[in-house]
Amino acid sequence: MVNRPDMLPILSAKGVRLQLVDGRELIDGMSSWWSVIHGYNHPALNAAVHRQMDRVAHVMFGGLTHPAAVELAELLLKVVPSNLETIFFADSGSVAVEVAIKMAWQYWHARGETDKRRLLTIRGGYHGDTTGAMSVCDPERGMHHLFSAVLPQQLFAEVPSCRFGQPCDDEQIASFTAVLRRQQAEIAAVILEPIVQGAGGMRFYSADYLRRVRQLCDEHNVLLILDEIATGFGRTGKYFACEHAAVHPDIMCLGKALTGGYLTMAATLSTREIADTISQNGEGLFMHGPTFMANPIACAVAAASLELLASGDWTSQVRRIEEVLTAELESCRGVAGVADVRVLGAIGVVELDLPLDVPRAQSLFVDAGVWLRPFGNLLYTMPPYVISDDDLRQVTTVIQHVVRDQSELWAS
């Protein structure tokens, strides 16, 4: 065991509570990086894992298939945008993004348009920590500036200034439009986190902006990749965030909550036209093959998670969380040093003017029996959907306390 004062050893977990080895409990306001939407130690998900383990724990997904993968694919195709008809199962969210980028490249190569090799995105984004994914994260304010010299050089437009719930006018999308028009001949795809920019800044931007991006991609013969890894499966109040804009992507990346947080697994979905073009031209198949692609246990628990969403009332759960977060976090808005307070679905964010004293804030959270993981100048929570109002208010109360503490710290 690593003996570090900032590392808390976990003995067990159930519902929304993490049990530490010293007996303390923490309410998890992070859903273990936004993935454990049904809570920990869920009986239906546990049962799915045990059933599949008794059948087959793993088998290669090359030349072989298995019922758990077929079931999961059928369930996914019922809930994703209707134009997405093919699925590539991947290992993690970052790999799903790598797969999406490679799909876009290989699609245009198969069509003989080999100049289309670059990606266009907006600043402030985060898409993962592998090489291709890093190349489309924010190049200056992100966490990957150390690797900038070795990454593919992509294209970036300015962060949307139009907030969620507002229209998007020509001026607010002018930066994106200019880059796309100027360099459309070399752009294979646009990649965006729809509506919510997650780890790059927790920003919520206009659904109208996303609609206009879709229109511009169609006009300029460019694919649209939507990274729903953080936003998929209900987090924003819609099953997928792109539904806020009634937009269908050409390629979609899923991960995080796909398995209810039990196992690492992701999926990259595409239109039939993209899949057929890749399969019938050029190399004749998509050039990617992870060892643990479509792992049977991961597929089984992912299918069980989707069935929980289908049979439960996640919309009411997320709406209730949104109402509590809105009411409770609003008091932070008037505190000195608070730049913004924003809530969407089961996401609550308090943005500060200055960077947090993160170790100090983390200590205050733990002392109050809450687990949150702030970064930069952001305090935020993305709790499991099953969290009770009382537990959620305990989370928001300690956020309020930390906001006041930081404000007093700066004033002194």
Copy the structure tokens of residue 133.
């994914």
Q: What is the pLDDT of residue 5?
A: 55
Alpha-helix residue ranges (DSSP H) falling in 56-189: 67-79, 93-110, 131-135, 174-183
Same fold, 10-34+313-411 and 46-311: no
CATH 3.20.20.80: does it fit domain 10-34+313-411? no
The CATH number of 46-311, from 3.40.640.10, 3.40.50.10330, 3.90.650.10, 3.40.50.920, is 3.40.640.10
Q: What is the pLDDT of residue 282?
A: 75
- Sheet of strand 187-192: strand arrangement: 84-90, 266-271, 251-254, 223-227, 187-192, 118-122, 155-157
Q: What is the pLDDT of residue 17?
A: 98
Calculate ∠ Cα 270-68-43, nearest 5°.
115
Beta carbons within 8 Å of 8's beta carbon, 6+ residues apart: 20, 26, 366
| Per-residue pLDDT tens digits of the chain, which is 412 residues long | 344 557 899 999 999 999 999 999 999 999 999 999 999 999 999 999 999 999 999 999 999 999 999 999 999 999 999 999 999 999 999 999 999 999 999 999 999 999 999 999 999 999 999 999 999 999 887 777 788 888 989 999 999 999 999 999 999 999 999 999 999 999 999 999 999 999 999 999 999 999 999 999 999 999 999 999 999 999 999 999 999 999 999 999 999 999 999 999 999 999 999 999 999 987 788 988 889 999 999 999 999 999 999 999 999 999 999 999 999 999 999 999 999 999 999 999 999 999 999 999 999 999 999 999 999 999 999 999 999 999 999 999 999 999 999 999 988 8
Q: What is the pLDDT of residue 149?
A: 85
> Looking at the whole model, is its pTM more than 0.85?
yes
Report the alpha-carbon distance of residue 213 to residue 120 in Å, rounded: 11
* DSSP string covering 321-388: HHHHHHHHHGGGGGSTTEEEEEEETTEEEEEESS---HHHHHHHHHHTTEE---BTTEEEE---TT--
For the chain, domain boundaries: 10-34+313-411, 46-311
H or E element, residue 251: strand 251-254
Q: Which among 298, 236, 226, 288 is positioned nearest to 266, based on CA atoms?
A: 298
Q: What is the pLDDT of residue 283?
A: 78
Positive or negative, the Cα torsion across 111, 62, 228, 319? positive
Place of tokens 């990649």: 191
Report the alpha-carbon distance of residue 78 to residue 89 in Å, rounded: 16
Are 315 and 342 in contact by the 8 Å Cβ rule? The answer is: no
Q: Which among 264, 244, 246, 266 is positioned nearest to 254, based on CA atoms?
A: 266
Q: Which among 345, 379, 385 is positioned nearest to 362, based on CA atoms?
A: 379
Residue 46 CB neighbour total at 10 angstroms:
14
